[in-house]
Amino acid sequence: MKHLEIRGLFSSYGSTRVLRDVSLDADKGEVVSLIGPSGSGKSTLLRVLIGLTPPTAGEVTIAGEKVDYRNRRSVKAVRDRMSIVFQQYNLFQNMTVLRNVTVAPIKIKKRPRAEAEKNAMSLLKRVGMAEKKDAYPDELSGGQQQRVAIARALATNPDILLLDEVTSALDPERVNEVLDTIRALTSEGITMLIASHEMAFVREVSTRIAMMDEGRIVECGSPSRVFDSPTKERTRDFVSKILKH
Amino acid sequence: MDYTFQFSVVFRELPYLLGGALVTLQIAFITFWCGAFIGVFGAVAKVYGGRISRRVASSYVTLFTNTPALVQIYLLYYALPDAGILLGSMTAVLIGLTLNAGAYLTEILRAGVISVRRSEIDAATALGMSLMQIVVNVMLPHIARTIYAPLSNFFIWLVLGSSMAAIFGVEELTGRAINISTANLRTIETFLVVAVIYVVLTVLASASLALVGRVAFRVRARVF
Amino acid sequence: MLEQIAEQVPLFFGYYNVVFILQAAGRTLGMTFVGCSVGFVFGFLIAVLRQSSLPILFLPRLLGIAYVETFRRIPFLVILYIVLFVIEPLMPGTSLFGIATVSVCLLSTAFLSEIIRSGLESVPLPQIEGAKALNMTGLQSLFMVILPQSWKVILPPAAAFVVMFIKDTSLASQLGVIEMTFAGEMLVNRGFSPVLGFGAVLVCYFAMSWPLSRLAIRLEKRLEAS
């Protein structure tokens, strides 16, 4: 049984179809990366999965359980085991770093404060942000905020982690600190879906690559297959343009 | 409590009330434009003026925005005769509300003037525009877009605020309501009808102001 | 004219007059602060109602919108008259002060609700999506994320609104509430010069409203900087 199964997913924004018949699956612990030009539907796919954008058709199954995105309880159950890291970090501006990481475990998962804080501190240590635990988001650089956002996403012990272009808003010199943090996570058995423009990075960490264009998955396969011998014209085009940089 | 509402006696007076609504709009219109005239000078004095004119302008604004228009008009109406100046009730109301409007409009216009970004003026200068061209093409459109919504809101505020003219016996909408209700003794009905007229009047005013704003200044003003 | 005023000054500022004016000032502030506090609570409820998207709340939401949009378009003077003539027969014996305060509540609910709503709407959508993705409920995200970030957008205009109402309560003098303006009228009727009577009232209003509007401006500047 696949850990995550997406079948024939559609989503529309107004009259434009943002996702058209997307099917994709992932085994437990697999790292699947979504590549493709801006506006190809990578972010929308991730937003649909965590219930921020409603799908218009299709089926999503997680660990054998079908998700009903119109049902609050079902969406709640999905978010219980799935976390997302946004492009713009989305850290709560009114909370310290530590509070950002502990708010969901304490308030949503009702864990004891001491335990949640201990866990949060070990996560912050892992992303190299422990000494900033009392800082507010606006006192941190983009890269630092994004590392805190990763810690926050991990604090609820998700078994699926969505990363939505997490380095796109960062200064170039800050990109690597975030990529290093993610690289360290890929061997932990968490199923990961990564939307990214960092080709060298996704090639290195992914088990599979899905190329998206105009709301469809054009091609899906191992990194070496998609990058070195793409079968579709569109993929070849995209990869060659990107790799020229 | 068995009170039976009787609106018919009020509806009979509808033309009279609507005539009052027209007077209300006239007061709002006159005080708005006269106030805007003062406001332009006030804003320019506050932004570009020397030390003294800046002082005078801000004292004027502080004084008039921190005291009730009603008391200001009382002073004009009851105190000036002691100095030998007799004002009619309508004149006193118009002068009082105008001075008040001038103070608020100074602040609104000032916000518009300082909203013009230095960088845009620099860019226009670099393109070789003359001062006049800069004012017409860069500054005014910008100012218009910034102040249009607050100006529209202020006009509505004046329509509602002009009701205090009734206290001095001016026969605008509220004044006529008082006249009718003292005659027919149907006070609640009369004032409910008048309230509806005010709502309709201001909705129409906001809607047409929003329309004008959208067409003339590309402002996306909200009616509600 | 000036001689006459100068003659009256010692009498005007006698003990009883000063106490009379201070009591009136107390009523002005009382109407304003009680009215605006109640208005803040109800305005907050309506603003939150308008933010929610629950289908069951559709009708209350509609009523909330209708209330706000109507009461923001009726002059305070007209509201005062309506409240007076509705409450008097229903609850005879209600004080005029009470009636005026109820009127302030009705109007301030509508205006403060708009101020609070634009404050709530000023919180960027990503903050709310972040809260959703962490499984926060609507109320949790309201109290833990949205409100703590929106109070700085709400407070300055709310303070400016209270300043406006200190002045607008002068209209309650028409009902016969002995607040500042009516106190001035009474003193003038007792034979004091209008310059003295209304001038003193004007100064008192200024003394009440100016510090508060300074505070509102300072608040706005400070919060803008942070």
Flag whether pLDDT at C198 surpasses 70.
yes
Flag whether pLDDT at C133 surpasses 60.
yes
- C 122-181 → A contacts, CB under 8 A: 126-127, 129-136, 140, 144-145, 148-149
Residues of chain A above pLDDT 70, percent? 99
Give per-residue pLDDT as tens, C11-52. 777 888 888 999 999 999 999 999 999 999 999 999 999 888
Round to whole Å and give the CA distance between B173 and B162. 9
Residue of B190, B191, B206 to mutate, testing the C interface (most C Cβ within 10 Å of its Cβ): B191
| Structure tokens given for C24 | 């009136």
As averages over each run of 10 residues, the pLDDT of chain B (224 residues) reads: 75 88 94 94 88 93 94 90 83 94 94 82 82 80 86 94 93 91 85 94 92 78 57
| Structure tokens given for A199 | 């080709």
Q: Which fold has domain A4-90+158-243?
A: Rossmann fold (3.40.50)
Residue A157's SS3 state is: coil
Q: Give the C-side interface with B, CB within 8 Å.
A: 1, 4, 65, 69-70, 73-79, 81-82, 85-86, 89-90, 163, 167-168, 170-171, 173-174, 180-181, 184-185, 188, 193-195, 198-199, 201-202, 205-206, 209-210, 213
Q: Which helix (H) or strand (E) element contains residue A8?
A: strand A4-13
Round to whole Å and give the CA distance between C99 and C106. 11
Which residue type, as a one-letter code, is found at position A233? E
Say yes or no for a CB contact (<8 Å) between C1 and B83.
Answer: yes
Round to whole Å and give the CA distance between B160 and B202. 8
Q: Minimal CA–CA distance to B57: which of B67, B66, B44? A: B44
DSSP of C95-161, one letter per residue? Answer: -HHHHHHHHHHHHHHHHHHHHHHHHHHTS-HHHHHHHHHTT--HHHHIIIIIHHHHHHHHHHHHHHH
Say yes or no for a CB contact (<8 Å) between A108 and C126.
Answer: no
* Whether C118 contacts chain A with CB within 8 A: no
Q: Which helix (H) or strand (E) element contains residue A222?
A: none
Domain ranges of chain B: 8-217
According to DSSP, the residues that pair with A219 across neighbouring strands are A211
**ipTM, 2 dp:** 0.88
Flag whether pLDDT at A245 surpasses 60.
no
- Nearest chain A CA: its distance from C154 CA (Å): 15
Which residue type, as a one-letter code, is found at position B160? L
Residue of A nearest to C132 (CA): A52
Q: How far is CA C52 from the centre of its chain?
A: 26
Tell me A37's DSSP state. Answer: S
Chain A residues near residue C52 by CB distance under 8 angstroms: none
Do the two chains B and A touch, given a threshold of 8 Å on CB pairs and at least 3 pairs? no
Beta-carbon pairs below 8 A across chains A and C: 50
* Whether B182 contacts chain C with CB within 8 A: no
CATH superfamily of C2-225: MetI-like (1.10.3720.10)
Domain ranges of chain A: 4-90+158-243
Say yes or no for a CB contact (<8 Å) between C78 and B83.
Answer: no
- Three-state secondary structure of chain B: CCCCCCCHHHHCCHHHHHHHHHHHHHHHHHHHHHHHHHHHHHHHHHHHCCHHHHHHHHHHHHHHHCCCHHHHHHHHHHHHHHHCCCCCHHHHHHHHHHHHHHHHHHHHHHHHHHCCCHHHHHHHHHCCCCHHHHHHHHHHHHHHHHHHHHHHHHHHHHHHHHHHHHHHCCCCHHHHHHHHHHHHCCHHHHHHHHHHHHHHHHHHHHHHHHHHHHHHHCCCCCCC
User: Is residue A120 within 8 Å of residue A101, measured between CB atoms?
Assistant: yes
Give per-residue pLDDT as tens, A115-174. 999 999 999 998 999 999 999 999 999 899 999 999 999 999 999 999 999 888 888 888
Say yes or no for a CB contact (<8 Å) between B188 and C69.
Answer: no
- When mean pLDDT is compared across A5-9, B24-28, B181-185, C158-162, the lowest value belongs to B181-185
Instruction: Please provide the average confidence, as pLDDT, over all residues in chain C.
Output: 90
Residues 6+ away with beta carbon under 8 Å from B24: B159, B162, B163, B172, B173, B174, B201
- B 65-124 → C contacts, CB under 8 A: 65-72, 74-75, 78-79, 82-83
Residues of chain C above pLDDT 70, percent? 99
| Structure tokens given for B162 | 């002009």
Which chains does chain C touch, 3 or more C-beta pairs < 8 A?
A, B
Residues of chain A above pLDDT 90, percent? 64
Chain C residues near residue B149 by CB distance under 8 angstroms: none
Flag whether pLDDT at A49 surpasses 80.
yes
| Structure tokens given for B107 | 């602040």
User: Looking up tokens 């004016």, which residue turns up?
Assistant: C21
Give per-residue pLDDT as tens, C49-104. 988 878 888 899 999 999 999 999 999 999 999 999 999 888 888 899 999 999 99
Domain ranges of chain C: 2-225
Determine the pLDDT at residue C130: 93
Say yes or no for a CB contact (<8 Å) between C144 and A107.
Answer: yes
What average pLDDT score do residues C188-198 get? Answer: 87
- Nearest chain C CA: its distance from A229 CA (Å): 37
Say yes or no for a CB contact (<8 Å) between C127 and A92.
Answer: yes
What average pLDDT score do residues A192-212 get? Answer: 92
Q: Are strands A216-221 and A208-213 parallel, antiparallel or unpaired?
A: antiparallel
Chain B residues near residue C171 by CB distance under 8 angstroms: 70, 164, 167
Give per-residue pLDDT as tens, A170-190. 888 888 888 888 888 888 889
Q: Which fold has domain B8-217?
A: MetI-like fold (1.10.3720)
The full length of chain B comes to 224
